[in-house]
Amino acid sequence: MTDNIGMTAQKLYLEDLSEGLVYESAEARLEPAQIQAFAREFDPQPFHLDDVAARDTLFGGLAASGWHTAAVTMRLLVQSLPLAGGIIGAGGDIAWPRPTRPGDILRVTSTILTVERSRSKPGRGIVTVQSETRNQHGDVCQRLIARLVVFARTHEADVAKGGQSLSETDKKAR
């Protein structure tokens, strides 16, 4: 994958997010060798591995694994939606309406759908984000609706004062 991605220094907290905000990623290009390498390791099916064999499948040619598209999307999300504490998934739905092809240049547009502060843990909340991964033609290759755990600024202050981190809180819940 070749790209022109730069890390964003500013971290986003729960208080920074509101319904309707849109975040755009940089671009990432998928090369045939990358598609095949990912498939060899994680999704070894003919339509991901062999261009000739792929012609006789539903895809009609080499196509990236949906999980490869998801992995590229995740990289772009980490860099375009810099949530304090990282992107921590709490469920969601994913669909691949069209295959990602060799040479496709992917870009992710993420829209904040909902922001809900936790009543029981006010130092964090759940944010629902819709992320569409499009190719260079504007075609949607992946649609992801994800519920994410997002920390409030107060959480950072609490941890700095000796409060509990997410992992410490979760250990006590087990």
* 17-50 per-position pLDDT tens digit: 999 999 999 999 999 999 999 999 999 999 999 9
Of 44, 45, 59, the closest CA to residue 102 belongs to: 59
pLDDT for res 9: 55
Q: Is residue 120 part of a domain?
A: yes
Q: Which domain, by its residues, includes 38?
A: 14-173
Q: Is residue 8 part of a domain?
A: no
The C-alpha atoms of residue 113 and residue 116 are separated, in whole angstroms, by 10
pLDDT for res 40: 98
Q: Are the C-beta atoms of 17 and 112 separated by less than 8 Å?
A: yes
Domain count, the chain: 1
Q: Is residue 7 part of a domain?
A: no
* 150-166 per-position pLDDT tens digit: 999 986 555 555 555 55
Q: Is residue 3 part of a domain?
A: no
Does residue 118 surpass a pLDDT of 90? Answer: yes
pLDDT for res 154: 86
Q: Is residue 5 part of a domain?
A: no
pLDDT for res 10: 87
* 46-79 per-position pLDDT tens digit: 999 999 999 999 999 999 999 999 999 999 999 9
pLDDT for res 173: 45
Would you state the structure tokens that stand for residue 33, as one six-digit string?
């060798």
pLDDT for res 89: 97
CATH of the domain at 29: 3.10.129.10
* 120-148 per-position pLDDT tens digit: 999 999 999 999 999 999 999 999 999 99
Q: Is residue 69 part of a domain?
A: yes
Q: Is residue 101 part of a domain?
A: yes
Q: Are the C-beta atoms of 100 and 135 separated by less than 8 Å?
A: yes
Q: Is residue 1 part of a domain?
A: no
pLDDT for res 2: 40
